Amino acid sequence: MTRTYSFLSKASTRGLAGNGAGRKAGMVVLGTVGLAMAGCADQSGPGAATGPQAPKAATSHKIGVLLPLTGPNAALGHELLAGAQLALAENGTSTTQGQASALQMDVHDTAAVGGASAAATAAAEAGDGIILGPLTAVDTAAAAPAAQSASMPVLAFTSDVGQARNGVWVMGITPEDQVERLVATARQEGRHRFAAFLPDNPLGHALGNGLLASCRDQGLMSPTIVYHTGSQASITQMMRELSSYDTRRAEAQPDGNAAPPASTPAAPATGSTDTADKALPSDLAAALKGGSDTSATASADGAAQTSAVPKLAPPPFDALLLGDTGLGLKNVIGALADSQVSSANVRIMGPGLWAAFATKLGALKGAWYAAPDPSSRQSFASRFMARNHHMPRPLADLSYDAAKVATTVARVAPNGYPADVLTRSEGFAGVDGPFTLLPDGRTRRALGVFEVLDNGGGAKLLVPATTKSAVSG
């Protein structure tokens, strides 16, 4: 049976229990969970009507929370619960028939018997009006049918856009959203020919799908996308094919001079904000350091070339999306230099994961990635620490945001959590900046564009965070 906890938002002010266990739990990597899609729930039964019946809209303001509170992800589940509790402590009142009352939170353990599906069913039976969670894409797929049958909106903490649908919102920062922001900014810079060189894994395919959609939505020609298998040989060979290396070399003049490279549009000059750098895994640090010692092959700036190869014309694209992290990134950097794909004529772009080790990316000087402005989080981190006596993990941002949505809607909607209020055009104020829930289940978040600096300088904020882009919605 699903374990259920209920309490008033103002009645619980204690911090997280077991902070030691919280520190031992590993970070969940969003966006790489398998896409287990749930089928439609069977609503028939003995004596049931044969015709379809529309579900009755949930009218309660009670907030259901679905998180793993036991098992291997228990520490992370309690961390997200603390984020939601903080939001309710700060904003937890609703208005019903003109009367203000404290919002009630109804917490269910998705790691208990029956999993997320049973937890969602229990939330529906308890009369909850909205669900915050679950944590993963798999749990979201399992919980969605019961929630949708009860007309309970779901604000899930996954970043798998495949789970987004009417009534189920993906609260995580998705690869697709990052790519949309990068493409819009690159287009404003004058880039029109996009390509991608990506790992053949879920993150790579999410980035590739995002590039296809962004180019289509922004009226750009379809991008060329190559997925590599990860070996150094395949990366080098496939980069040569993507960049038309053999053709460019054949066209090079015998004296080593090629046609003048295309001019690079000037990037906008704005104030810089250094990103916080996290500890780099030792294997990646060694790989990038080793690569930086090989001047002829490890730099993406095109300055170092072997004497045997003449200077080549630019490749057939002016913006290139990468998706590698870890050791694969070192091989990709080497392949860029080998194929003479230079930042002098190609805008290199990558995932927001690069922010975690931006000071180690000097070989990709000038590359971009999209991510929230870290300065936006400072106030939340201070308030969370005062209440729970430790700094919040990044995923706690999502649970706070989801609870903030619930409390905001409960103050203005007399009954339940109507879709038209959840998807209001002005959006909501989030920990990492403003965000908007779209009718199709996606979340449009304010993302800044950061530019990688050389010599271990990290990255600077090039374009401030915004939810606006060249494509509305």
Task: Tell me the percentage of the chain whose pLDDT exceeds 70.
Answer: 73
| Model pLDDT, residue 256 | 46
| 3.40.50.2300, 3.30.70.100, 3.40.50.12780, 3.30.530.20: CATH of 63-91+101-173+375-441 | 3.40.50.2300
Where residue 14 falls among pLDDT bands split at 50, 70, 90? very low
pLDDT digits (tens, 9 = 90+) for 432-442: 999 999 999 99
| Model pLDDT, residue 59 | 80
What is the DSSP secondary-structure string of 304-319?
A: ---TTSPPPPPPS-SE
Q: Provide the 10 A C-beta neighbour count for residue 238.
A: 18
| Model pLDDT, residue 123 | 97
The set of residues, in sequence order, having a beta carbon less than 8 Å from that of 332 and lying 6+ positions away, is: 197, 235, 239, 322, 324
* Higher-confidence position of 468 and 175: 175
The set of residues, in sequence order, having a beta carbon less than 8 Å from that of 231 and lying 6+ positions away, is: none
* Higher-confidence position of 414 and 46: 414
In this model, does residue 378 exceed pLDDT 70? yes
Residue 46, Cβ density class (10 Å: 0-12 exposed, 13-18 middle, ≥19 buried): exposed
Where residue 100 falls among pLDDT bands split at 50, 70, 90? low
Q: How far apart are CA 138 and CA 144, in angstroms?
A: 10
| Model pLDDT, residue 46 | 37
pLDDT digits (tens, 9 = 90+) for 297-325: 344 444 444 456 788 999 999 999 999 99
Q: How far apart are CA 140 and CA 188, in angstroms?
A: 36
Q: How far apart are CA 439 and CA 165, in angstroms?
A: 8
For range 47-64, the mean pLDDT? 60
In this model, does residue 369 exceed pLDDT 70? yes
175-250+312-371: CATH class: alpha beta
* Higher-confidence position of 383 and 22: 383
Torsion (CA) 235, 241, 246, 249 in degrees, nearest 10: -70
The mean pLDDT of the chain is 80
| Model pLDDT, residue 102 | 82
| Model pLDDT, residue 253 | 63
In this model, does residue 459 exceed pLDDT 80? yes
Sign, CA dihedral 293-297-302-306, equals positive
Is there a contact between 167 and 441 (Cβ–Cβ < 8 Å)?
A: yes
Bridging pattern class, strands 459-466 and 447-452: antiparallel
Tokens coding 45: 């039964």
The DSSP symbol for 251 reads H
Tokens 């998180």 — which residue? 67
| Model pLDDT, residue 95 | 57
In this model, does residue 337 exceed pLDDT 60? yes
The DSSP symbol for 433 reads S
pLDDT digits (tens, 9 = 90+) for 259-297: 444 443 444 433 344 443 444 444 444 444 444 333 333
Question: How many residues appear in the chain?
Answer: 473
Tokens coding 309: 């190869």
Q: Identify the three-state secondary structure at position 450.
A: strand
pLDDT digits (tens, 9 = 90+) for 138-174: 999 999 999 999 999 999 999 999 999 999 999 999 9
pLDDT digits (tens, 9 = 90+) for 232-241: 999 999 999 9
In this model, does residue 245 exceed pLDDT 80? yes
The set of residues, in sequence order, having a beta carbon less than 8 Å from that of 151 and lying 6+ positions away, is: 55, 56, 57, 58, 167, 416
Where residue 466 falls among pLDDT bands split at 50, 70, 90? confident
| Model pLDDT, residue 15 | 37
* Higher-confidence position of 418 and 99: 418
Q: How far apart are CA 177 and CA 441, in angstroms?
A: 13
| Model pLDDT, residue 456 | 87
How much is the CA Rg of the chain, to the nearest whole Å? 24
Mean pLDDT lowest among 34-38, 144-148, 333-337: 34-38
In this model, does residue 2 exceed pLDDT 70? no
pLDDT digits (tens, 9 = 90+) for 179-229: 999 999 999 999 999 999 999 999 999 999 999 999 999 999 999 999 999
With vertex at residue 113, the alpha carbon angle to CA 146 and CA 72, rounded to the nearest 5 degrees, is 110
Where residue 57 falls among pLDDT bands split at 50, 70, 90? low
Task: Tell me the percentage of the chain whose pLDDT exceeds 90.
Answer: 67
- Nearest partner of 353 among 136, 201, 137, judged by Cα: 201
> Residue 388 is which amino acid?
N
Q: Identify the three-state secondary structure at position 103.
A: coil
Q: Do 63-91+101-173+375-441 and 175-250+312-371 share a fold? A: yes
pTM: 0.73
Is there a contact between 300 and 337 (Cβ–Cβ < 8 Å)?
A: yes
| Model pLDDT, residue 237 | 96
Q: How far apart are CA 217 and CA 470, in angstroms?
A: 9
Q: How far apart are CA 110 and CA 143, in angstroms?
A: 9
Q: How far apart are CA 334 and CA 393, in angstroms?
A: 34
For range 72-100, the mean pLDDT? 85
For range 39-58, the mean pLDDT? 40
Residue 330, Cβ density class (10 Å: 0-12 exposed, 13-18 middle, ≥19 buried): buried
Question: Rounded to an integer, what is the distance from CA 221 to the centroid of its chain?
Answer: 25
Domains in the chain: boundaries: 63-91+101-173+375-441, 175-250+312-371
| Model pLDDT, residue 455 | 87
For range 111-124, the mean pLDDT? 97
Is there a contact between 364 and 457 (Cβ–Cβ < 8 Å)?
A: no
Give strand pairing partners of 347: 319
What is the DSSP secondary-structure string of 341-408?
A: --TTT-EEEE-GGGGGGGGG-GGGTT-EEEE--GGGGHHHHHHHHHHHSSPPPTTHHHHHHHHHHHHH
Q: How far apart are CA 168 and CA 160, in angstroms?
A: 12
Q: Torsion-angle region of residue 261: left (phi > 0), alpha (psi -120 to 50) or beta?
A: beta
Burial 150-180 (b: 16+ CB within 10 A, else e): bbbbbbbbbbbbbbbbeebbbbbbbbbbbbb
The DSSP symbol for 276 reads P
Q: How far apart are CA 366 and CA 230, in angstroms?
A: 24
Q: How far apart are CA 456 and CA 454, in angstroms?
A: 6
